[in-house]
Each structure stands twice: as C-alpha cells, then as structure tokens.
Amino acid sequence: MAQNAQREAGYRWIGISVVAVALLGWLLALYLWSASAETEAELERQIALNGEATELDARIVALRSEVTQTETTREESSSELDNLQQRLIEAQKAVASSEDQAQTMQEERDALEAEIAEMTSQQNTLQDDIAQAQAQVAETSQEFADVGERLEQARRQEVDVQGSVSDLTSDVARLTEEASGAESRVQAAREAEAALEQRVAAARQDLEEIETARNTVEQSTETLVQRRDQLASQTAEAEGQMQHLQEQIVQLTQDLADRSERLVELQTSIADMQEEAAQPARAAASGLILGERYEAGPVLATFSDQGTFEMANASSGEEVSGDYSLEEEMLTLSDATGDLGNANFPMRCNIVADAAGFTLESEDGSCELLSGTSFSRVSP
C-alpha cells in the first residue's frame, strides 16, 4: 500500500510538473506578446510627441532588434519546452515499465512464500510421522525384550522338566531292579511305576506345550524383528525426505532473498528515475535551464544536470564551485570550494523566473550576498 501511495504521489508530482511547464510556456508567450504590444505603443507615442525622425528611426531599429531577439528567445524556449515534455513522456514510460517489472517480481515472491509455507507444512507432517515411528520402534523393542524374557523362562522350565524326566527314568530303573529281587514289592513297584509313568506322560505333555510356546515366541520374535526393520527403513526414508525438503527450503529462502534484493534495487531505480524526470521540470519552472551559462555583470554561472555549479568573476578572476539542489522555488548552494571570501554556505535563495533568466532573493539571511542578483542566459 505504501508503494502504491508513493507511485501515486510520484504521478501527482509529474502531472503538476507538466501543468507547471505548460503554464510557464503560456505565461512566457503572453509576456512576449505584451512586451511586443507595449513596444509598438511606445514607438507610436514617441513619434507623435517628438517629431525627430532620425532619432525615432534609430529607436525603431533598436526596438525591432529587441522584438526580434525576444521572438528568438520565445522560439528557443518553446523548443526547449518541447524537448522537456518529450523527456518527461519517455521518463513516464520507463517508470511504467519498471513498475510492471516490480509487480511481476512481487507476484513471484508471493508464489515462493506460498511454496515455502507448503513445504514447511510437509516438513512438520514428516516430523510427526518420524516421532510416531520412533515411538513404535521403542514399543516394539520393549515387546521384543518381554518376549526374550519369556523365552528364557520357557527354556529354564524345559531344563527343569528334562531333569525331572531323567530323575524319573532313574527311579523306574532302580525300582525294576528292586522288583526282580523282592517279589513282595512287585505290586507296590508296579503301582509306583504306573504313577511314575503318569508323571512322565504329564511331564512330556508339559514339554510339548513348552516347545509349542517356544515356537510361538520365536515366530512372534521374528515378526517383531521384521516390523522393527520395516519401521527403521521408513524412519530413514522419512529423514531423507525431510533433509531434501530442508535443502529445498534453504534454496527457496535464498532465491526469495535474492529477488527481494532485486526488488529493492528496482524500487530505488524507479525513485531515481522519477527524481531525474522531475528535476528538469522544476528547473524549467524556475527559469533555470540545466547545462546553460548565465551571467550577472562580470559573474558567469553554470548549473549542470549532475547537481554541481560553477561561478567565475571575469573581473577579479575569483572562482567558486560546489553542489546545488532545486526544490520548487528554492535554490540551495552547498559544499562550496574556491574563493569563498565572506560567503557562508549552505546558501538558500528563492529563485524567481523572468524573461531573460532568473533572479535570486534572500530567504533566511544566508543569501544576502546574491539577493537581488538577476542572471540572464548567455546566447550560444
């Protein structure tokens, strides 16, 4: 919004400058026409009052020469006004083109910011997925540890059962030997053997259940290991994608910074072009034509379009140079070097346009040295 206001203000000043230049041209033409009419009236009055034909003829020739010079000055001013208007039109076209480029770069910048926002959202989503995967990996590791502990417990139980089976087998052998030696204990031994066989059968059944449980645990362990490897692979892939997105975000951020820098340079260039376009118009409105030489008695002054001035006194040989700025009807001379004498700088002078050039007047006391001085443009 600030840029639009700045551009509107720039266009407003350009429009005001064009109107001021046009008004200056009409005032100059009106002044020349009025001066021509007054000159002819003065000529007729002198002929009626005096009757001295020779003197009047000489004055007529002089006045006609002044009228011719005035018309020549008017034509030159009109030509210069046309040149200024043409330069103003070209500057307006250049400003419009630069503003189009600035608008395009602003749109590209908005698109880049939207893309960066989208990639940042994707990065946040990936980070959430990675956090969930890491939580699942931790949970799977805990389950794997629990399964391992259960497997170790089953193995210990298997060892205990196998020891019991071995003990029972030894008891059966021992009892069989005793049965062969003591017939009276056969029945008891058979009963004990039957009981031991039942215990052996039960122990074998427990052993089979433990084997089944161990197989189940091993299958569960293998499944959990595969799941853990899969989650680790997905986590690595997500981290790779996040790294790639971070690299893209860094690149896009650098591109955005570069384009922002180019946009600032373009805006500065537009402001310089607007200032350059407005400077000749302000100079023309004040009666000061850049690059031309002006004289006030023995003093010869030149104001360049680069913002510098030179003044030289042909009688005393003194020379002064420095910088100047022209804002509306105020001419400021600063950073002066040379034969300054008792002059103080910066020097602020009101500039008033007239038919031959311009006149300087004191504004705040700093221009007392040049106040009332009229500078006339030196003919090429």
Could you read off the pLDDT of 299-349 as tens digits, one per residue?
Answer: 999 998 888 999 999 998 999 999 998 887 888 999 999 998 888 899 999
pLDDT digits (tens, 9 = 90+) for 244-281: 878 888 888 888 888 888 888 877 777 666 555 555 54
**136-141 long-range Cβ contacts below 8 angstroms, 24+ apart:** 136/231, 137/228, 137/231, 137/232, 137/235, 140/224, 140/227, 140/228, 140/231, 141/228
- Amino acid 165: pLDDT: 60
Rank 41-50, 135-144, 161-170, 186-195 by mean pLDDT and report only the highest. Answer: 186-195
Over the range 215-243, which residues count as b (16 or more CB within 10 Å of their CB) and which as e?
Answer: eebeeebeebeeebeebeeebeebeeebe
- The SS3 of residue 93 is helix
The answer for residues whose C-beta is within 8 angstroms of residue 217's C-beta and 6 or more apart is: 147, 150, 151, 154
- At 221, the pLDDT band (50, 70, 90 cuts) reads confident
Mean pLDDT of 2-9: 58
The residue length of the chain stands at: 380
Mean pLDDT of 133-156: 69
Q: Which residue has the higher pLDDT, 342 or 286?
A: 342
- Amino acid 214: pLDDT: 78
Mean pLDDT of 354-361: 87
Whether the Cβ atoms of residue 263 and residue 269 lie closer than 8 Å to each other = no
DSSP bridge pairs for 294: 301, 377
- Amino acid 285: pLDDT: 46
Mean pLDDT of 89-113: 75
Please state which of the ranges 2-11, 143-152, 183-192 shows the lowest mean pLDDT.
2-11
- At 179, the pLDDT band (50, 70, 90 cuts) reads low
DSSP secondary structure letters along 46-90: HHHH---HHHHHHHHHHHHHHHHHHHHHHHHHHHHHHHHHHHHHH
- Amino acid 11: pLDDT: 56
Mean pLDDT of 200-208: 80
DSSP bridge pairs for 334: 323
DSSP secondary structure letters along 220-281: HHHHHHHHHHHHHHHHHHHHHHHHHHHHHHHHHHHHHHHHHHHHHHHHHHHHHHHHHHHHHH
Helix spans in 286-361 (H): none
- Amino acid 309: pLDDT: 94
- Cα 155 to Cα 153: distance, rounded to the nearest angstrom: 5
How many Cβ atoms are within 10 Å of 210's Cβ, its own excluded? Answer: 17
- Cα 69 to Cα 81: distance, rounded to the nearest angstrom: 18
- At 52, the pLDDT band (50, 70, 90 cuts) reads low
DSSP bridge pairs for 331: 326, 349
Report percent pLDDT > 70 for the chain: 68
Over 60: is that where the pLDDT of 286 sits?
A: no
- Cα 228 to Cα 25: distance, rounded to the nearest angstrom: 89
H/E element holding 325? strand 319-327
- Amino acid 8: pLDDT: 60
Rank 43-57, 65-79, 96-110 by mean pLDDT and report only the highest. Answer: 96-110
- Amino acid 156: pLDDT: 79
Q: How far is CA 103 from CA 3, 98, 107, 117, 256, in A?
A: 11, 9, 6, 21, 15
- Cα 293 to Cα 122: distance, rounded to the nearest angstrom: 68
- At 80, the pLDDT band (50, 70, 90 cuts) reads low
Mean pLDDT of 1-22: 60
- Amino acid 90: pLDDT: 79
Phi, psi of 357 (to 5 degrees): 175, -110
- At 142, the pLDDT band (50, 70, 90 cuts) reads confident
Over 50: is that where the pLDDT of 212 sits?
A: yes
Q: Which residue has the higher pLDDT, 349 or 29?
A: 349
The answer for residues whose C-beta is within 8 angstroms of residue 214's C-beta and 6 or more apart is: 151, 154, 155, 158
Whether the Cβ atoms of residue 35 and residue 299 lie closer than 8 Å to each other = no
Domains and CATH numbers, the chain: 286-377 (2.40.128)
Report percent pLDDT > 90 for the chain: 11
- Amino acid 152: pLDDT: 77
Please state which of the ranges 37-41, 60-64, 84-88, 304-308 shows the lowest mean pLDDT.
37-41
Q: How confident is the prediction for the chain on average, in pLDDT?
A: 76
Whether the Cβ atoms of residue 288 and residue 302 lie closer than 8 Å to each other = no
Look up the pTM and report it: 0.33
How many Cβ atoms are within 10 Å of 140's Cβ, its own excluded? Answer: 19
Q: How far is CA 309 from CA 102, 292, 302, 327, in A?
A: 35, 11, 6, 15
